[in-house]
Structure 1
Amino acid sequence: MTIDRRSMLKQVGGAGTIAALVGCIGVQEQGTEQPSNSGDGDTESSEPAGTATAWYGLSNTELDLRERAIEAFNEQSSHTVEGGNISEMQDKTTSAIPAGQGPQMFQWAHDWVGDYYQRGFVIDQSDSLNISLDQFTGAAANAVQTDDAVVGLPFSAETVTLIYNTDIVDSPPESFAEMESTMESHHDPDNGQYGLAWPVDPYFVSGVGQAFGGQYFDASQDDPVGLDSEETIRGFEFLVDNLFQYMPNDPGYEPQQVAFLEGNAAFAVNGPWYLAALRDSDTNFEVTTFPSLDGGKFTPLSGIKMWYFSKAMEADDANAAAAREFVEWFVTNEDHLLTRAEEQGHIPVLSTLAGSDDLPGPVRAYSQAVDQGIPMPTDPRMNDVFAAMGDPVTQLFNGSLSPEEALTSAAEEARSQWE
């Protein structure tokens, strides 16, 4: 059974505190160029006070940090933000926003940008923002735009990369040959030992699937589906010939992650949401970038977490101003972003922090891994590509289809949805 990629793109992390932020949040005044990151700015605004609603879908361990962030903002701003932890975010936003009952802002990964903008659920705020997209990494800045519209602001990134058990592996592999040698020597499935723990899902394996020049989807092409290209097929052949054999025989997320958490795998491939579970386990680990793949380069899909500006912002009233002010603070306040990185493993996309030595080691490694990949396409048709890939990729892992058969089938299914 494959795991829902949208669930994997949501942030997951350990419990955190925000005490350090209280008293040091810099919230911008209306009309200034950008919010203060030092926390020394005057928080009183000459504009009428507004109340904005923010929706997010967080795990229980994440809620404390979010609620305290909102509380700190409200204490120091003339505006007020009311938060709501929402389950089934897609269902709720697509029903509430058109009915005029949605929030001013909501948090999700960037892959809804194209679809939600086309359907009128989110709106362009490029002429109303007091910060520049130049403050973020290029990938993050691009992720929140579509058709020259800026429909939100980014605050962190996600991707998957290589993790190794330091009780088994002395140092990160410098080549795939070195990695394969270690996997081979440790792999003993009869005794519950594995060379590699890696959930087999289109998103998780994209780094190898796209390692030899292929892409799942390229909106710039007349035929955007790249699943059945020679280059993508080669990537999946590499998976079958060199990697699948070292994994537990259940491709699902839970069996794969547990194998590494219990110290029974030399390597794992997973995302930053995995850090909380790793820290709670007895396994000693390090995070690193993937070595070169015999002429290929690990090229995973990455997600950008962002605040979307919903259709409720069209009124451009005090409530919309409250939403903009909160989001602009949230995405640029370095103290807050570092707390997120330290407590919950989130990867900042603010240029001054991305890859910085101020980040915890594992988060810095993930930040470097993001640079290896490409952002998830925002074109709504990408949803059909992922849906078409699910079962064929599982059959590929189980050996019932060859890479060419699996990817040709998936490509045909995706294209059929647009005819």
Structure 2
Amino acid sequence: MTMDRRTVLKNLGVASGIGALAGCVGVQEQGETDSSGGDGNSGGDGGGNQSGSDGTESSGPAGTAKAWYALSDTELPTREQNIEKFNEQSQHTIEGADISDMRKKTTSAIPAGQGPKTFEWAHDLAGDYLDRGFIVDRSNSLNVSLDEFTGTAAEAAQFDGNVVGLPHTAETVALIYNTDIVDEAPETVADMQSVMDEFHDPANNQYGMGMPFADPYFLSAWAHAFGGYYFDFEKDEQLGVDKDETVRGVRFAVDNFVPYMPNDPAYEPQASAFAEGNAAFAINGPWYLNTLNEKGINYEVVKLPKPEGGEPRPYTGITLWYFSKGMEEDDAGTAAAQEFIEWYVTNEDIQRQAAEETGSIPVLKSVAESGDLSENVQGFSDSVAQGYPMPAHPKMNQVWDPVKAALTKGFNGKDVEQAMNAAAQEIRNNWE
């Protein structure tokens, strides 16, 4: 079964650990051919001021800019249509390219001067990429106010006083249940278990739930549920992987979810179980809805249920169009990229379409606060309200892989405390 890639979260940049895990999602790579025939950042000829039919405003010479993104095969046609619409309205030209390994490509192409003017990814790359000079501050050149976006989204677009991109959607995981199997949304994990106990029958390919257990992002709600945390730069003790509260959360997930899951913790087998109609529940993100719609699954999305004595707190991600290195130059290519970004993130139709088709959570206030989001989008929005943004500090890069290994050990029956202690030691060694 081909699953949505989104590099697990299409754009959750979370360093090599999640990037590698995301590759397990299994979408066939889109063509990465860059049609620019060059670096794509040079301005073309032509000039003068020009306004597009949808409010785009161009000034100076026409420019061409590359824009990179990593999308599932179901999302790609819509992106291409939106770029085509922009190009028809503007004197500028955006040349889009779908990239199978965004982190690898950006870290190699941008320093070599062959990267895009802008690329789409989650906010958690900001600290690392700003430190390495891969993205730049455009706070003094914006024609869009951050006040147009929700507070969390506006905050995510900034790092250390720099505006490094503009936001357009929020993402997190939520509980998805099959309405042909489950009568009503569970409010607690205990409510879930009563259904899972009844439905779970692995001998007949029936499972209580599917959740990519080895992925620290997907498991974050439970690792954080009792006061634990993976990493928090604001705390005196930044690393929380081996704290008792974190270990308790992971152990809770091992004890209460693993017995009802397929025996492979990776993304594809877990996601496939629910997408094929063989699981009562799934914990997944909005990028997953396209697959469910294609499969004809009847489902609803709701916030994560409460564990006894705790509150689920999932990591959330804000998708940004980043200002890549090269946008510090006020040339025609930069003008093209900035006009495209500002048009894209303030386009209500684009945000509504993303919400309707993929369950993505709008961050443009005029849409997010309109009160007319669909039930499924509202379910993800409620889950966002439960959680908090992923850390964007570069030190977080060293956290993902060791935690992934520890979660895999826990899933396979190893002692959770020992596994998390070993992960914490590895992280501290890497930091040193």
Q: Which residue of 2 aligns with 1:379?
A: 393
Q: Which residue of 2 aligns with 1:127?
A: 140
Letter in 2 for 1:273: W
What SS does structure 2 have at the residue aligned with 1:53? strand
Alignment pair present for 1:285 and 2:312? no
Q: Deviations over 1:364-386 (max 9, x none)?
A: 21122111111111111112110
Alignment pair present for 1:161 and 2:174? yes
Q: Which residue of 2 aligns with 1:181?
A: 194
Q: 1:248 to 1:50 in 2, by over 3 A?
A: same
Alpha-carbon distance in 2 for matches of 1:357, 1:172: 21
Q: Which residue of 1 aligns with 2:8?
A: 8
Alpha-carbon distance in 2 for matches of 1:285, 1:44: 42
Q: 1:123 to 1:75 in 2, by over 3 A?
A: same
Alignment pair present for 1:410 and 2:408? no
Contact 2:58–2:339 under 8 Å retained in 1: no
Q: Which residue of 2 aligns with 1:72?
A: 85
Match of 1:247 among 261, 269, 273: 261
Q: Which residue of 1 aligns with 2:270?
A: 256
Q: Which residue of 2 aligns with 1:85?
A: 98
Q: Which residue of 2 aligns with 1:220?
A: 234
Q: Which residue of 1 aligns with 2:211?
A: 198
Q: What is the deviation of 1:85?
A: 2.2
Alpha-carbon distance in 1 for matches of 2:122, 2:336: 22
Match of 2:367 among 349, 353, 357: 353
Q: 1:248 to 1:160 in 2, by over 3 A?
A: same
Q: What is the deviation of 1:115?
A: 0.6
Alpha-carbon distance in 1 for matches of 2:405, 2:59: 56
Counterparts of residues 33-112 of structure 1 (less than 5 Å): 41=55, 43-112=56-125
Q: Which residue of 1 aligns with 2:314?
A: 300
What SS does structure 2 have at the residue aligned with 1:409? helix
What SS does structure 2 have at the residue aligned with 1:313? coil
Contact 1:355–1:367 under 8 Å retained in 2: no
Q: What is the deviation of 1:6?
A: 7.7
Letter in 2 for 1:147: D
What SS does structure 1 have at the residue aligned with 2:168? strand
Alpha-carbon distance in 2 for matches of 1:273, 1:159: 10
Moved more, 337-346 or 162-171: 337-346
Alpha-carbon distance in 1 for matches of 2:100, 2:195: 42
Contact 1:197–1:269 under 8 Å retained in 2: yes
Q: How high is the TM-score relative to the length of structure 1?
A: 0.88
Letter in 1 for 2:143: N
Q: How high is the TM-score relative to the length of structure 2?
A: 0.86
Contact 2:83–2:96 under 8 Å retained in 1: yes
Letter in 2 for 1:253: Y
Q: 1:90 to 1:361 in 2, by over 3 A?
A: same
Q: Which residue of 2 aligns with 1:27?
A: none
CA RMSD of aligned residues (A): 2.4
Q: Which residue of 1 aligns with 2:17?
A: none
Alpha-carbon distance in 2 for matches of 1:326, 1:385: 34
Alpha-carbon distance in 2 for matches of 1:355, 1:203: 27
Q: What is the deviation of 1:391?
A: 1.5
What SS does structure 2 have at the residue aligned with 1:314? coil
Contact 1:354–1:367 under 8 Å retained in 2: no
Alpha-carbon distance in 2 for matches of 1:54, 1:78: 16
Q: Deviations over 1:23-71 (max 9, x none)?
A: xxxxxxx99xxx99xx763x45343322222122223322221121111
Match of 1:326 among 320, 340, 343: 340
Q: What is the deviation of 1:355?
A: 6.2
The total of aligned residue pairs comes to 394
Q: Which residue of 2 aligns with 1:25?
A: none
Q: Which residue of 2 aligns with 1:369?
A: 383
Quote the sequence identity (%): 58
Contact 1:347–1:363 under 8 Å retained in 2: yes
What SS does structure 1 have at the residue aligned with 2:116? coil
Contact 1:357–1:364 under 8 Å retained in 2: no
